[in-house]
Amino acid sequence: MPWDPDEGRGEQDNASVNRNITIHRYRGSMSTELERISKLARENRRLQFLSIAQYLNPAALLEAFRRLRKDASAGVDGIKYGEYQKGTEEKIQKLHERVRQKRYRAQPLRRVYIPKEDGKQRPLSIPSLEDKILQKATATLLNAIYEQDFYECSYGFRPGRSQHQALDAVKRTICGRPVGWLLEADISGYFDAIVRSQLMEMIERRVKDGSILRLICKWINVGVIDEGRLLTSETGTGQGQIISPLLANIYLHYVLDEWFETDVKCRLRGEAHEVRFADDFIMLFEYKEDAERVLRVLAKRFAKYGLTLHPEKTRLVEFGRSAVLKSETTGGKAPDTFDFLGFTHIATRSRRGYFTIHVRTMRKRLKRSIKAVKEWCEEHRHDSIDKQQRGLNKKLTGHYQYDG
């Protein structure tokens, strides 16, 4: 009997149609379910969520895939965004089945290095594409819960929040509140220092779903491929994973933010404020003795959770309206400056004589940007003028969008 090329195609088409219907049905209800979870979390800060893994459905995974960076580097699987687009829905269904049947295995991370401002290199860990998809969907689900818990002082890697908002909060607080002293702090190797067992205990205060907890354990305990070798560690969350910023925020929420808001402020003589973006944070105080007291206990607090303050980058700075007035009346040097999120902050007066804060790009960051543009110009000096202009404008626009 001759082979019919259309044989079985109807069944395949029907299966594809059924997949599409299922995914679209899930997609329509997903946003409503996330809103419901957020409402429950907001109404009861002690509520524990026992069964939320069901929301990691095919529609949620497909939406997570579409929100990934299309130009991101590939993990150890070597698969990039464009390659996965062929037959995406079928691949998503298979991924969902592996997760549902507990056959999903996280792949090792691929280690790469990027240069830091001080000349050293920062290690980044890149997950495989399907791990990125699942982490993105899980982060979206957990954000619905933790966005109700996080404090206003936290700005890093949160929906609708940015570095510029954190910088605005710093200026608004210093100019509008009685601030005289500032604690400029830096955590040594934060992402690599997180104690995993303590992190999981913190997550379990809100999430008791075993499936979600197992996924997080897989991601934070997976090894790293570095120059062909599989490396493992006892601490850290693997900076570069999509889930890592949320986990890092959860850790500092309990270690720092909640502690500062509920236990520290009520014991101080004057006002105190915190502004944090991921692991970069500053604390603002009305009185010097409050700042010194917090600095002493902060190191002990961090030590309980495996964290260490960088001795050279952590300091107290006299800063604010009173510092400017003191400098003017004594004829001494201008108040010290401090750096935060790539900007140097200067306490001064406006042209009309009012106290204000001026910000400028950090000197070493500006030098690095100028050097990078210079090297690009030398490399492309033989290109046409139009091509050079487009490339240079793109680089300058990128610089202005943040530093401008």
Task: Name the percent of the chain in helix, strand, coil, to the closest 5.
Answer: 50, 15, 35
Report field, pTM of the whole predicted structure over 0.85: yes
- For residue 21, the SS3 value is helix
| pLDDT at 26 (0 to 100) | 53
> How far from 222 is each of 195, 217, 232, CA to CA, in Å?
15, 8, 7
pLDDT tens-place string over residues 313-362: 999 999 999 999 999 888 778 899 999 999 999 999 999 999 999 999 99
Q: Which residues pair with 114 in a beta bridge?
A: 122
As given in the structure block, the two tokens for residue 354 are 């009012």
Q: Which of 36, 57, 37, 35 is nearest to 48 (CA)?
A: 37
Q: Which of 132, 110, 147, 114 is nearest to 246 (CA)?
A: 147
Amino acid (one-letter) located at 404: G
Q: Is residue 342 left, alpha or beta, with left meaning phi > 0 and alpha meaning psi from -120 to 50? A: left
User: Which parts of the chain register pLDDT below 70?
Assistant: 1-29, 117-119
CA distance 208 to 204: 5
Alpha helices (H) in 101-147, listed in sequence order = 129-146
Host H or E run for residue 277: strand 272-277
Amino acid (one-letter) located at 287: Y
CA distance 210 to 54: 12
- For residue 154, the SS3 value is strand
The beta strand positions in 30-120, using DSSP E, are: 109-115
